[in-house]
Amino acid sequence: MSITIRRERPEDFRETEILTRKAFWDVYKPGCDEHLVAHKLREAAVFVGELDLVACEGEPIVGNIMYTRARVIAANGQVHEVLCMGPVSVLPTHQGRGIGGRLIEESVAIAKEMGFAGIFLYGNPFYYARFGFRKAEEFGVMTSDGKSYDYFMGLELAPGRLAGVSGNFFYDDAFHVNADELEEFEKLFPKREKHKTSTQLF
């Protein structure tokens, strides 16, 4: 069945969170918290509803992408608005079929139309390079504490739009999840065992 991409609707929220939990479970740590992050981001003032897309195979939702407005703050205090991409999730049973790629490409096209300067994210450089993302440091953008990593990347949405946008990158507090709120939120989902796996960085 073919995949369609559309805006997420309130009646999709629960299904999207279940899918996000399945996509991230045990990938970066035992269990995951990205489903709670997705839940909190929608309530955040910086959430960009126009870029909250789901991929559907018929009715069921098999993928999701979300964005928030974020800031690059220069040493002189100048604030530049950019986008932060994530989470991006595709059901494990549907990964590797180009669905994540379509969610990224279609949302990037909308972000360009909306006039955003650029997108920053934390993710696998080998995956995101194919969409044109480069190490954020190449744009003069560092993490909030002034660091640079291969997996901290940026994409300029039109030629020259990130020229002069340099400084430290700050994303919304909704990305920070504490153990108590995660434990409470997890009660809404079927119990699932956590494992240590080779994909986990820490």
Ligand X SMILES: CC(C)(COP(=O)(O)OP(=O)(O)OC[C@H]1O[C@@H](n2cnc3c(N)ncnc32)[C@H](O)[C@@H]1OP(=O)(O)O)[C@@H](O)C(=O)NCCC(=O)NCCS
> Where does this chain bind ligand X (CB under 6 A)?
23-24, 27, 86-90, 95-101, 123-124, 126-127
Nearest distance from residue 156's CB to ligand X, in Å?
20
Q: Beta strand 167-170 with 53-57: parallel, antiparallel or unpaired?
A: unpaired
C-beta pairs of 145-150 under 8 Å, 24+ apart in sequence: 149/122, 150/125
**Comparison of 49 and 98: residue with beta carbon closer to ligand X:** 98
Cα separation, 155 vs 136, whole angstroms: 8
Cα separation, 92 vs 188, whole angstroms: 21
Query: What is the residue whose two structure tokens read 């932060």?
Result: 84
Cα separation, 139 vs 160, whole angstroms: 10
Find the residue with minimal CB distance to ligand X.
Answer: 100
Coarse DSSP helix, strand, coil percentages of the chain, rounded to the nearest 5 percent: 35, 25, 40
Nearest distance from residue 186's CB to ligand X, in Å?
18
SS3 call for 102 = helix
Nearest distance from residue 25's CB to ligand X, in Å?
9
**Comparison of 107 and 166: residue with beta carbon closer to ligand X:** 107
Nearest distance from residue 72's CB to ligand X, in Å?
20
Q: Beta strand 141-142 with 167-170: parallel, antiparallel or unpaired?
A: parallel
Nearest distance from residue 28's CB to ligand X, in Å?
7
Length of the chain: 202
